[in-house]
Amino acid sequence: MTVDPIHQFNIDKWFTIGTVGSREIAFTNSAMFMLIAVLSIAVLMIGFTHRQALVPGRLQSLAEISYEFVADTLRSATGEAGMKFFPFVFTIFMFVLFANVLGLLPYSFTVTSHIIITAALALLVFFTVIVYGFWKNGVRFLKLFVPSGVPGYILPFVVAIEVLSFLSRPISHSVRLFANMLAGHITLKVFGGFVTMIAGFGIAGWFGAALPLVMIVILTALELLVAFLQAYVFAILTCIYLNDAIHPGH
């Protein structure tokens, strides 16, 4: 029996929505799960908060907790001035979180395990920082690349290094989320493959197969933690990068 741990990341075209030029816009399984994530967020945030009960029920308090969590994170990273970015950060956090967690369900597709998705999110943050930084601070935004207290003769090197460091942000920002999701899901599938392989050896195999099965249970719990953690890390890095646009100069 062959196990293909990569097969779960296949993009399947379901139907074509339309064409732009000669390029067709297809509705894929990835698009489906993005839609599911967005709809479940909408149901949670709109459907369960419209009653506005003073003593919240379970789902209303879940919505309120997620609001408080993101608001506190953003406020502590960027100060009160950064709160105008709250809708942006909250959207990113909830989308990544729901995409990660929905991807853990059996037979589902993990949207964030494709680098094109995470890179699009990271580049969105990157360009938001650049555009807002220049719009808000003008040329003073470039002070981000000129640390104070550096002697003049090494300043060109320092500025070049700072610029490269700035340019490398979207890469590490996107690769981190994508690679964590990819590696975790491949690990789960590989261990799942072990179970069926070892179980094929007969009676002794049945006992041997229990070991990777236990590992899968443990790894699934770990993956759930990683799903939350990576969504949080993605959001907090967004906050930190936005902070540079709001308060340039170290």
Partner 1 sequence: MGDGTRKNEDEGSRPSDDAALSARLKRLGSQLDASAGRPTRTEPASRPVDSSAMARGFRLSTELVAGVLVGALIGWFLDRTLGISPWGLIVFVLLGFAAGVLNVIRGARAGSGYPYEPPKD
The tokens describing 82, both together, are: 């950064």
From CA 13, how far away is CA 112, in angstroms rounded?
A: 18
Going by the DSSP 8-state scheme, the letter that residue 14 receives in this structure is E
Which residues are CB-contacts of 49 (< 8 A; sequence separation ≥ 6)? Answer: 60, 63, 64
Q: How many angstroms separate the CA atoms of 151 and 138, rounded? A: 25
CB contact burial 71-86 (16+ within 10 A = b; e otherwise): eebbeebbeeebeebe
**Cβ 148 to partner 1, closest distance in Å?**
13
Q: Please state the closest distance from residue 75 (CB atom) to partner 1, in A.
A: 6
Q: Which is nearer to partner 1, 62 or 179 (CB)?
A: 179
Tell me the C-alpha distance between 185 and 98, whole Å: 16
Q: Choose between 157 and 201: whose C-beta lies nearer to partner 1.
A: 157
Q: Is 142 helix (H, G, I), strand (E, B) or coil?
A: helix
Q: How far is the CB of 156 from partner 1 (least distance, A)?
A: 10
Residue 77 beta carbon to partner 1: minimum distance, rounded to whole angstroms: 6
Instruction: State the CB neighbour count (10 A cutoff) for residue 206.
Output: 12
Residues near partner 1, by CB under 8 A: 72-73, 75-79, 157, 160-162, 164-165, 167-169, 171-172, 175-176, 179-180, 225-226, 229, 232-233, 236-237, 240, 243-244, 246-247, 250
Closest to partner 1 by CB, 59 or 124: 124
- Name every residue whose Cβ is closer than 8 Å to that of residue 41 and which is 6 or more positions away in sequence: 94, 95, 98
Nearer to partner 1, 138 or 156 (CB): 156
Overall size of the chain counted in residues: 250
CB 103 to partner 1: min, Å: 18
Closer to partner 1 by CB, 96 or 198: give it: 96
